[in-house]
Amino acid sequence: MTEATDSRRGPSVEMPGKLSFLVRGLSGGGAQRDAIMLANGIASRGVACAVVTLDAEGPLADLIAPSVDLIDLGRGRKLRMAAAIPALRRFYAGERPDVFVASEASGNTLAVIAMLMTPPSQRPMIVLREVASPLQARNNDPYVQNRIAYRMAPWIYPRADLVVTLTEAVRRDLMAHFRVPADRVVCLGTNAVMARDDFARLETMPKRPEPGLIAAVGRLSPEKDFATLIEAVDIVRNARPVRLEIAGEGTGRAALESMIRARGLSDHVTLLGYQHDPAALLSRAALFVSSSRHEGFGNAIVEAMAAGVPVVSTDAPYGPREILAGGRWGALVPVGNVGELARAIVNALESPPDTAGARLRANDFTAESAAAAFIANIEKRGGRPV
At 10-41, the pLDDT tens digits run 333 344 469 999 999 998 888 999 999 999 99
- For residue 9, is pLDDT > 50? no
Burial of 384 (0-12, 13-18, 19+ CB in 10 A): exposed
Average pLDDT over residues 288-313: 96
Give domain limits for the chain.
18-192+366-379, 196-364
CATH code for the domain defined by 18-192+366-379: 3.40.50.2000
Query: Is residue 157 reached through a cis peptide bond, with omega within 30 degrees of 0 on the bond before it?
Result: no
pLDDT score, position 254: 98
Across the range 360-380, mean pLDDT stands at 94
Contact call for residues 54 and 78 (beta carbons, < 8 A): yes
Q: What is the mean pLDDT of residues 284-304?
A: 96
d(CA 190, CA 338): 30
pLDDT band at 382; cut points 50, 70, 90: low
Q: What percent of the chain has pLDDT over 70?
A: 94
pTM of the model: 0.88
Strand locations in the chain (E): 18-23, 48-53, 68-72, 99-103, 125-130, 162-165, 185-187, 213-217, 243-247, 269-273, 287-290, 311-314, 331-333
Q: At residue 294, does pLDDT exceed 70?
A: yes
3-state helix, strand, coil in the chain (%, to 5): 45, 20, 35
Q: Kindly state the average pLDDT of the residues 230-259.
A: 97
Q: Coil, strand or helix: which one is 350?
A: helix
Mean pLDDT over residues 36-59, rounded?
95
For strands 269-273 and 243-247, give the pairing. Answer: parallel
- Point out which residues pair with 222 in neighbouring strands: none
Q: Check if the beta carbon of residue 293 is closer than 8 Å to that of residue 222.
A: yes
CATH top-level class of 196-364: alpha beta
The mean pLDDT value for 269-285 works out to 93
Residue 383 has pLDDT above 60, yes or no: no
Residue-wise pLDDT for 158-217, tens only, equals 999 999 999 999 999 999 999 999 999 999 999 999 999 998 999 889 999 999 999 999
Q: Look at the chain and count its residues.
A: 386
Q: How far apart are CA 258 and CA 74, in angstroms?
A: 38
Is it true that 18-192+366-379 and 196-364 share their CATH fold? yes
pLDDT of residue 11: 31
Could you tell me what percent of the chain has a pLDDT over 90?
Answer: 83
